[in-house]
Amino acid sequence: MGNFNTSSQESFILVGFSDWPQLQVFLFVIILIFYSLTIFGNTTIIILARLDLRLHKPMYFFLSHLSFLDLCYTTSTVPQLLINLYGLDRIISYGGCVAQLFIFLALASTECLILVAMAFDRYAAVCHPLHYTSIMHPILCRALAISSWVGGLVNSLIQTGLVMAMRLCGHQINHFFCEMPIFLKLACEDTGGTEVKMFVARTIVLVCPAVLILGSYVHIAKAVLKVKSMAGRRKAFGTCGSHLIVVSLFYGSGIYTIIFNWFLSSPSNYSESKESFCPSFYTIITPCSILF
Residue 237 has pLDDT above 60, yes or no: yes
The DSSP result for the chain, as a single string, is: --EE-TTS--EEEE-TTTT-GGGHHHHHHHHHHHHHHHHHHHHHHHHHHHH-GGG-SHHHHHHHHHHHHHHHHHHTTHHHHHHHHHTS--EEEHHHHHHHHHHHHHHHHHHHHHHHHHHHHHHHHHH-GGGHHHHS-HHHHHHHHHHHHHHHHHHHHHHHHHHHTS-EE-SEESSSS--HHHHHHHBSS--HHHHHHHHHHHIIIIIHHHHHHHHHHHHHHHHHHT--SHHHHHHHHHTTHHHHHHHHHHHHHHHHHHHIIIII--TTT--HHHHHHHHHIIIIIHHHHTT-
Interatomic CA distance for residues 241 and 175, integer angstroms: 33
Q: CATH for 3-289, among 1.20.1250.20, 1.20.120.80, 1.20.1070.10, 3.30.360.10?
A: 1.20.1070.10
pLDDT band (50, 70, 90) for residue 106: very high
Compare 242 and 290 and report the one with higher pLDDT: 242
How does pLDDT run across 158-191, given as a tens digit for each residue? 889 888 888 877 777 777 778 777 777 778 877 7
pLDDT band (50, 70, 90) for residue 152: very high
pLDDT in the model for residue 143: 96
